[in-house]
Structure formats: structure tokens, C-alpha cells
Structure 1
């Protein structure tokens, strides 16, 4: 049987676990969250992504109960949560600093919330052992937090947050304290744990790679507003604005004047250059537009390709070598610099192109996306 795709946001019958309805949060004159509405579904791994000060942490703190909305409502499982104090919500939060109790063992840190809820000792013991297994730190139960590594402390914090089986787990920049290799490994473990427990995870991050790896959907935020809420592949391939295109991954953005030609648009963008042919993200009127194209979709060659509409010539200005990839910065006669990326599929002593080389850049009519300016 084919695996069913998890897309409750496309199912009109699915009830959201979390509903923000016209939520605004002001601190004095500053609007941190601006008339925001969004649905998050059960079992989602949902990422709030954006630069510092975009409102993502304020959204999370309102879910946790540390802040109350200035206006609007937040529903959890169909219930307005604003009158419910933080410790009575079926929501747990894992802080960036992990906030472990240094004087308690790993075991007692995980048991802390369960003891406060006065669960019978045998139930507490069974649950703590289950959590230690889940995050793979059974060997460290009797150690104190300072006797284990940062990555292990992070697992203890996760186990403690999940011990009470919350409906919703909030993670605030959960992996920012880990080094890159450990962060990548932990991302996959988090996804695995989220799948095993079926808990809804909402993660706040400014690390786009992290959001794109772990999330079922990503909400890109700016100045308290949602710019786009979509699956990672859609956010990357079909951004709805230059802000989103520019925020996620590497991108070339060329401004020009677009003229509709059936399904495509011809964009006049530089004196003496043929128009760029691009595909609009939605039906658009003629006018000023931005053309966004990812560097890996721009081909670089020594000879002019004969089979493409979009061909420009320039000079190699800079080369960034990243092991598996090389990014060429190519300056066009108009002064615009376009990045083209090639995969280094085999070990080479020399690169095919070097600084100052004249090269041709080309791409297909559907490789880039035309956006409103």
C-alpha cells in the first residue's frame, strides 16, 4: 500500500490543534505580532522562521502562556487558552539554555514535572526510563548535568519536556548551542522522536537550513506578519515574494520590466541585453517585476549554448569552493553579478573555469520565478 501523505492543512475536514485568530501583541508602541491568523495541525513539526525581532518568539511565548495577546484569540484543541495559566496548559517549552537543574541528576531532572504532578513512584520510574531510552541516554541517568556534554544536556531537556506527554512542545532555537555536525545529526533525531511520540512540535529558529530539514511546514515571518506559510519545498521553489526568496537559501534577483507572453513573461532588464524569459508565480500585469533564480539552476559554459532563450555572457569575478559545490560569481557587462553553482562530482586538480575567464550563463524558461516588486 502506498504511504499516505501527511498534509492535514489540505484537508478541509481536519481540525487544527492550534488556531491563531487575528492575534496582535504590542509592547508599548512596538507591534511584535500584527493581526496574525494561522492554523497548526496535530502531529505537525511546524517551524517559525525569521530574523531577530520578527515576532516568532513572541508567538511562542503566547502559546506557552508567558505573554497574553493584546487582541485576538489563541485556541488549543478548540479551547481559548488565554485564561489558562502556563502550568495548566497541555504545552511544554524547551528553552534555548536548556534550563536544567544543576543539583539534580539527569534522572531527577526528567522526573521533576512528574513528581510535582504527584504521580505514583512506579509510574514515574517507568516514564523516566522510557524517556531516557527515547533520547538514547540510558547510561547517564545518575550523572549531573555538568558531567555530560552539551548535546547530551540537550537530550535531557527534550526528555524532560516530553515526559508529561504534552499535546504541544515548543522548542526555542533548540539546536543553536550545538556545533554544526552535532546539529545536523540532532535534527534527524528530533524528527524521529517527534514521529515516535506523535507530539506536535513548534520550533522557533532563524536557521533556515534547520527549518527546511525538520519541518512539515515553515512560516516565514517579518515584522510581526506571516510572509508565507508552506512546505519547505514550496517555500524554496515557489516563494511568493522577493523577501521569502531572498531569506531562504541563495538566490539571484534581477529587477526589470515584465511583459506577459502567454504563460511566460519577457523581462527587459539591461541595456543591450535580450529580455529574460521567466515564469510568473501567479497571473501578473505588465510592469516592474523581480526575477529570482537559484544558483544551482544557472548553467555555466565556455561555449554559447544554442538551445536556450536565457543566455548571458560575463566574466568570472570570484569562485567559492565548498568541497561538493563550486559557486562562480560572474559579472555581466551591466555590472550585475550572477551566481552559478556546479556540483564537483569528481576530484579535480584544476577547476574548469578560473578568475577573469569569459563564460556563458544560461537557464531554462521555467528555472526562475517572476515575482511582483
Structure 2
């Protein structure tokens, strides 16, 4: 049976769970969020991604009710949140510090919010046990936070946040304190738990790999605005601007002048050199520079000039970064432009084909590059 793709944002009959409508947030003269409109749907794992100071945490704090918009509206399930205090919203927030009570056991930490809600004892026991099972913490129930690992503390904070069954869970850099390997494992656990509970998650992160791994959609932010919102695959393969292409993953950006062709554009990039070709449905505005964005893994490197590639250029290897499974070659092409090309390390190091100062050919297909105008 074919699996249905989760994409409520493409379905006009779906009503968003969260709506930002023309939201601006100022702190004195500083504009933290600038006239932002964005929908987030139920059961989404939505990532706010951007550099420090881009406004992502301010967006989250407004959702939680810790800040109010200066202008515009934030709706949750159709209700304007303007005068709803944080403790009366169906929203929970999980902080980077986890903020666990050190003197309480894991079980008591998870039960804390439910006790304050005056949940009947039988229901409370059942709910805490369910959360312990969900986060695989049952055997640690009687331990204190200092007796468990960082990854387990992170799961306790998650279990406590989910215990009250919020419509929306906000996660502020939730994996920032974990080491790389544990972070990667925990990302998959987060996705699994989000899927099992069906809770809408909004995560704030500056780690693009994390956003690309966990999110159903990623919003790339800069200076209080959302530059692009799309699925991780579309953000990577079809960025809408040089900023997004450059922010997500490794990329080569070649500046030049674009001339329209039958199938796309020719990009003149250096005097006396043949133009690069790009097949694209994108239509650029007239005049001004154009940019060709090509991911390093889409560029082949060879000793001989390939016959069948859409684009070829000669260059010299200046640097090599060996990353275990792949090597990245920094190749200088005419005019002094540096191009990064990647190849998988299927052979032992001693049998590698290329080394520093080698003259090589770089090549890529006409559809590998993306043409952008800003």
C-alpha cells in the first residue's frame, strides 16, 4: 500500500493550528520580527533555523506567551492568543537547560505539572508510566537527575513537557548540550516520539543538520523575516536565494552575467572562458548579476576532460579536506574562483587518484546548478 505523504500545507481544506498574521515585534528601536505571516499545521515538526539574532527565539517566546506582538495577531486553533497568559495556553516549552528539579526523582519530575493540575491519582500514575515508556525511562523512574546521563535528562524534560498533552510543544535548542553522536541518536528519538504522540513540535535551532533531520518543514530566517519555508529536500535542492543556498550545507556560488537560452541560462563567469549552462524553469529579472549555486557532491573530478558533461572547466587542486567517508577538493579555476568538489572515498588512502597541485577537470550536468538572482 502506498504511503500517503504528510503535506497539510499543500491542502487548501486544512486549517492551520498556528497562524502568524502580520506580526511585528519591537524592543525599543530594534525590530526583532518584521511583519511576519506564517501558518504551521497540526502534527507538523516545524523548524525555525537561522543565525543568532535572526528572531527565531522571539517567535517562540511569543507563541509561549512570554512576549506579546507589537503589531499583528497570533492565533492558536483559531483563537487569538493576545490576552491568554502562558499557563492557560495549550502550549508547553522545553528549554535548553531542561530545568529539572534536582531533589525530585525522574518520576516526580514528570508528575510535577500533573499534580499542579490536580489530576486524580490513578490517572496521574497511568499518565506518568505512559510517558516513562514513551521516552524509554521506566527503569530510571526512581533516580534523581544527577544519577542519569545528559541524554536521559533530555528525555525526562521531554516526558515532563508532553505529560500534560499540549497541542503544541516548543523546543528551544533542545539538543545543544549533547555531544554530536548523542545528538544524532536523540534527533531520531524526538521524531519517533513526535510521530507517536501526534503533538505539533516547533523547534528553534541554529544547527542546519538538526533542522534538516527532524523537520517536516524548515523556515530559514534572517533579520526578523522568514526567507524561505519548505521541506528539507526542497530547501536543499531548490533554495530561493543565495542566502538560503549558502546557509544550508556546502555550496559553490559563482557570480556572472546570465543570458536566456531555450532551456534556461548561460552564465558568463570569466573573460575568455566559455559560459556555464543551466537548465532551469526559473525566470530571472533583467539586468543585475546572476548566481549559479552548485553543491560540491554534484561536481565530478577527473584527470581527463569528460566528453559527455554539460559543463567542464579545468583547474588546479589547492587543498584537500579528508572527512573519512568523503574528500572535498578545493580547486582553483581560471580567474581565481575556488570550487569545491566532493567524491566518496571508496578506496584506501594510498590508492587515491589526486593530490595537491594536480591539474584536474571539473564537470557537472546542466541541471546540477541552480540559477539565483540574489
- The TM tier, using the shorter chain, reads over 0.9
| Aligned counterparts of 1:174 and 1:167: Cα–Cα separation in 2 | 18
Per the alignment, residue 323 of structure 1 pairs with 324
- C-alpha distance in structure 1 between counterparts of 2:6 and 2:58, whole Å: 28
Q: Scaled by the length of structure 1, what TM-score is found? A: 0.99
Q: Structure 2 vs 1, CA of residues 112 and 144 (structure 1 numbering), >3 Å: closer, same or farther? A: same
Pair 157,28 (structure 1): closer, same or farther in 2 beyond 3 Å: same
Query: Are positions 1:142 and 2:142 aligned together?
Result: yes
Q: After TM superposition, list the pairs within 5 Å mapping 1:254-269 onto structure 2.
A: 254-269=254-269
Query: How far did 1:280 drift?
Result: 4.1
TM (norm. structure 2) is: 0.98
Please list, as runs of the form range in 1=range in 2, the aligned pairs for 1:143-222 lying within 5 A after superposition. Answer: 143-222=143-222
Counterpart in 2 of 1:46? 46
Show the counterpart of 1:63.
Answer: 63
Provide the residue aligned with 1:334 in structure 2: 335
Contact 1:217 1:231 survives alignment (8 Å): yes
Q: CA RMSD in A?
A: 0.9
2:305 is equivalent to residue 304 of structure 1: yes
Deviation at 1:308, TM superposition (A): 2.1
Give the alignment of 1:220-369 within 5 angstroms. Answer: 220-280=220-280, 282-287=282-287, 288-369=289-370
Q: Distance in 2 between matches of 1:50 and 1:280?
A: 27
Aligned to 2:9: 9
Q: Distance in 1 between matches of 2:9 and 2:305?
A: 45
- Are the aligned partners of 1:281 and 1:369 in contact in 2 as well (CA < 8 Å)? no
Deviation at 1:349, TM superposition (A): 2.1
Q: Structure 2 regions of 5+ residues with no counterpart?
A: none
> What is the aligned residue count?
373
List runs of 5+ in structure 1 lacking aligned partners.
none
| 1:97-117 CA-partner distances (Å, limit 9, x unpaired) | 001111111111100000000
* SS of residue paired to 1:151: helix
CA distance in 2, matches of 1:232, 1:44: 13
Instruction: Identify which range, 242-251 or 269-278, moves more after superposition.
Output: 269-278
* CA displacement 1:131-189 (0-9 Å, x = unmatched): 01100011111111111111110000000000000000000001111001000000011
Where does 1:125-136 land on structure 2 (aligned, <5 Å)?
125-136=125-136
